[in-house]
Amino acid sequence: AQSVTQLDSQVPVFEEAPVELRCNYSSSVSVYLFWYVQYPNQGLQLLLKYLSGSTLVESINGFEAEFNKSQTSFHLRKPSVHISDTAEYFCAVTRIQGAQKLVFGQGTRLTINP
Amino acid sequence: DTGVSQDPRHKITKRGQNVTFRCDPISEHNRLYWYRQTLGQGPEFLTYFQNEAQLEKSRLLSDRFSAERPKGSFSTLEIQRTEQGDSAMYLCASSLVGGVNTEAFFGQGTRLTVV
């Protein structure tokens, strides 16, 4: 079975400051890794994903995440946040084979203060 | 086709009543998933379909829950004899398995409140 731990339930930061949202996972088999973002009263939107290849993946809005196999981590970073980044962020994994159902962490609420 | 759509967006029901939710996936997607999200938690897997076949059900899916995908297109999730503990956001997602990219697209969810 897979499990995901998001180490911070809430992260408050000031606008234009850097941020890191931490994610660790556990799995006995190879997995794909994802970050999803959820705005209030909305569904989940894919932010970025790691399937294979380069361990550093980037999104179109400035977020990046690095897959670290030895530390089983997939932390999300952004060098300068904006008010519009305020949302809940979920780290998720799925087995490469089989049902490919997503296993989510509990989420990190990112709050940007002006 | 603009994405996964769910109906209704919100549902308030009295305890003991039955409710049914509908999900329309992206048209060419062959997999459809249902998840449940309670306040302050990440989504939890309930069940999934490959075309019209229901291939896996979570232990979270009690006997009061049933899901169908009759023609391999839209899906319904029914909850019978609702309980207050069923209050949650029910999320539907779809994906195309067999391609290079593995990505699940989510609908906006149906928020159920049982009073």
In a 3-state reduction of DSSP, which class is residue A84?
helix
Q: Tell me the per-residue pLDDT of B66-97, one tens digit each, with 9 for 90 and over.
A: 999 998 899 999 999 999 999 999 999 999 88
Summarised one tens digit per residue, pLDDT across range A62-80 is: 999 999 999 999 999 999 9
Kindly give, in sequence order, each residue whose CB lies less than 8 Å from that of residue A8, ignoring residues fewer than 6 positions away. A21, A22, A108
Confidence of residue B103 (pLDDT cuts 50, 70, 90): confident
CB contact (8 A) between residue B45 and residue A105: no
Measured between alpha carbons, how far is A97 from B5 in angstroms, rounded to an integer?
Answer: 27
pLDDT at residue B33, as a whole number: 96
Asked if residue A98 has pLDDT above 80, the reply is no
Contact assessment for residue A40 and residue A94, using Cβ atoms and an 8 Å cutoff:
no
Tens-place pLDDT, residues B23-53: 999 998 999 999 999 988 999 999 999 999 9
Q: Residue A43 and residue B103: Cβ atoms within 8 Å?
A: no
What SS3 class is residue B50? strand
Structure-token match 């049982």, residue found? B114
**Dist. CA B47–CA A91, nearest whole Å:** 20
Average pLDDT over residues A103-109: 97
- Closest CB to A49: pick one of B103, B106, B111: B103
A99 with B101: Cβ contact below 8 A: no
Of the CA atoms within 13 Å of residue A107, those in its CB half-sphere come to 20
d(CA A48, CA B44): 20
- Token pair 């897979």 is found at A2
> Does position B100 have pLDDT exceeding 60, yes or no?
no
CA B9 to each of CA B39, B101, B108: distance values in angstroms, whole numbers, following the listed order: 16, 29, 7
B26: contact with A, CB 8 A cutoff? no
Tell me if A89 sits within 8 A of A35, measured CB to CB.
yes
* Rounded Cα–Cα distance for residues B38 and B77 (Å): 17
Contacting residues of B for A104, CB less than 8 Å apart: 42-44
> What are the tokens at B113?
């409140």
Nearest to A102 among B4, B101, B104 (CB): B104
A103 vs A93: CA distance, rounded Å? 5
| Cβ B94 vs Cβ B33: under 8 Å | yes
Residue of A10, A101, A104 to mutate for B, most B C-beta atoms under 10 A: A101
Tell me the per-residue pLDDT of A2-59, one tens digit each, with 9 for 90 and over. Answer: 999 999 999 999 999 999 999 999 999 889 999 999 998 788 999 999 988 889 999 9
Task: Specify the 3-state DSSP secondary structure of A63.
Answer: coil
Cα(A63)–Cα(A47) distance, rounded to whole angstroms? 8
